[in-house]
Amino acid sequence: MLCVEARSLSKSYGDVVAVDSVDLVVEPGKIFGFLGPNGAGKTTTIKLLTTLIAPSSGTIKILGTDALKDPLGARRRVGVVLQQPSYEPNLTVEKALDKYGMMWNVDGGTRKRRVEELLTAFDLKDIRKKKNDDISIGQRRRVQVAREFMHEMDLLFLDEPTVGLDPSARRALLDYIKGRVRGGLTIFFTTHILEEAEYLCDEIAIINRGRIVAIDTPDELRKKFGRKKTIKVHVEGVRDLSGVLRDVGPHDVSYDGGTVITLHSADSERALVRILQVLSSNNIEVEDLSVVPTSLEEIFLKVVRDSEGQGDASGI
């Protein structure tokens, strides 16, 4: 059974099309990344899939349930953490967690055990007696994410869950998510931090202007859109290499006037051989070199540019 199956999903607000004929399939036990620039339609899509708003057209199945005909049934085994801050200002951290478990009809013994587990997992034990109104924005965000794990679920929507978190708390949350997915949970994950998507996601969809413009595994996205690699060559001594580099040939070469030469090429091996030949013939010694694969961030920027008719067909 698929966790998410959306077909021809659209949402319009008057003449503005926020989501345009989107098809999405999310398999169980995966982390599905949903990426896009601001205003691309990510949050609207999540609100559609979680039945918070109704589509203008299309179909949605969540965990095998028709979400349009039976929205309550579709939400029964689903968790949602939206971008917007949500917290109980006058409740302590531990009471906020316990209350959320009560809302989901979790029995008292289970709630007590889960509160302790989550306080530990999200590094909240030291502030368990503090009111939400008296803790930092990052701590509130950790509470907001943690409380969702008070109830049993098969599918969790996380919309920018690491906003406001410091690097240590961010990595701890990502590792906790990975652990829960190994236990059978499925995650629908949006983020503006591309390193997070690269670290977490089994499959990634990129949306722009309401339409899905790319969808595949991170490795396949690199094969399709990341043909160019970046080569950095460090040379000894400081001299003007502008004239020398004209002989490198039809490769994208950038040089800042110092000791680092940067090439971008779809044929990295040939480009590397050529630049080493040119440097050797000019008696220029190489101190160090590295070949860097195209990052997910570069692929994301290219896919978005191409979808707006601004990219070039040669790849990154």
Domain boundaries, given as residue ranges, for the chain: 4-223, 228-293
> pLDDT value at position 223?
77
Q: Which CATH architecture has domain 228-293?
A: 2-Layer Sandwich (3.30)
> pLDDT value at position 316?
47
pTM value is: 0.80
pLDDT at 51 over 80: yes
pLDDT at 52 over 70: yes
> pLDDT value at position 250?
60
Mean pLDDT for 306-310 is 74
Q: Give the CATH fold of the 4-223 domain.
A: Rossmann fold (3.40.50)
For 268-298, write each residue's pLDDT tens digit.
Answer: 777 788 878 888 888 888 888 887 777 788 7
For 191-235, write each residue's pLDDT tens digit.
Answer: 988 889 989 999 999 999 999 999 999 888 887 776 667 778 888
For 140-189, write each residue's pLDDT tens digit.
Answer: 999 999 999 999 999 999 999 998 899 999 999 999 999 999 999 999 99
- Provide the pLDDT confidence category of residue 310 given band limits of 50, 70 and 90: low
- Provide the pLDDT confidence category of residue 101 given band limits of 50, 70 and 90: very high
For 23-42, write each residue's pLDDT tens digit.
Answer: 999 999 999 999 999 889 99
For 54-100, write each residue's pLDDT tens digit.
Answer: 999 999 999 999 999 999 999 999 999 998 888 899 999 999 999 99
For 253-268, write each residue's pLDDT tens digit.
Answer: 777 667 787 777 777 7
Residue-wise DSSP of the chain: --SEEEEEEEEEETTEEEEEEEEEEE-TT-EEEEE--TTSSHHHHHHHHTTSS--SEEEEEETTEETTT-HHHHHTTEEEE-SS----TTSBHHHHHHHHHHHTT--HHHHHHHHHHHHHHTT-GGGTTSBGGGS-HHHHHHHHHHHHTTS--SEEEEESTTTT--HHHHHHHHHHHHHHHHTT-EEEEE-S-HHHHHHH-SEEEEEETTEEEEEE-HHHHHHHH---EEEEEEESS----HHHHGGG-SSEEEE-SSSEEEEEESSHHHHHHHHHHHHHHTT--EEEEEEEPPPHHHHHHHHHHHHTT-S-TT--
> pLDDT value at position 239?
64
